[in-house]
């Protein structure tokens, strides 16, 4: 099962076994990881599942949709490696995927 490594806002990290077909957001919520609130439940409308993908992995995940990109640009911690974790479905190629959960303001 692919392992996804979450760098958390408190400086610790969590390595989670994520079944193929599960979103990075759902896996984080199942593990009660801090910083991924996922208020809309994964419908690409809240932006509270925002993460920064490690540089080596960004291109592996493909490009965000226009809808996702528009929402990302309104998030406070937006950067060029930003993604919404609810839109990232884990595949067999994701073993070792590393991402950072940004510290949220306010």
CA 102 to chain centroid, in Å, comes to 10
Distance from C-alpha of 63 to C-alpha of 59, rounded to nearest angstrom: 7
Minimum CB distance to ligand FES, residue 86 (Å): 3
Minimum CB distance to ligand FES, residue 30 (Å): 14
Minimum CB distance to ligand FES, residue 90 (Å): 15
Minimum CB distance to ligand FES, residue 71 (Å): 6
**56 or 76, CB closer to ligand FES?**
76
**6 or 11, CB closer to ligand FES?**
6
Residues forming the site for ligand FES (CB under 6 A): 25, 38-40, 42, 44-49, 84, 86
Element holding 37 (H helix, E strand) = none
Q: Which residue has the tokens 């960004």?
A: 58
Distance from C-alpha of 67 to C-alpha of 39, rounded to nearest angstrom: 17
75 neighbors 101 (Cβ within 8 angstroms):
no
Q: Residue with the closest Cβ to ligand FES?
A: 86
């Amino acid at each position: 099962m692919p392992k996804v490594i979450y760098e958390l806002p408190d400086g610790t990290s969590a390595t989670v076994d994520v079944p193929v077909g599960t979103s990075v957001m759902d896996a984080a919520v199942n593990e009660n990881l801090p910083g991924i609130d996922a208020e809309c439940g994964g419908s690409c409308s809240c932006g509270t599942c925002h993460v920064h993908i490690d540089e080596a992995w960004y291109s592996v995940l493909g490009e965000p949709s226009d809808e996702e990109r528009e929402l990302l640009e309104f998030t406070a911690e937006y950067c060029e490696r930003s993604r919404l974790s609810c839109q990232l479905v884990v595949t067999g190629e994701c073993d070792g995927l590393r991402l950072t959960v940004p510290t949220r303001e306010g």
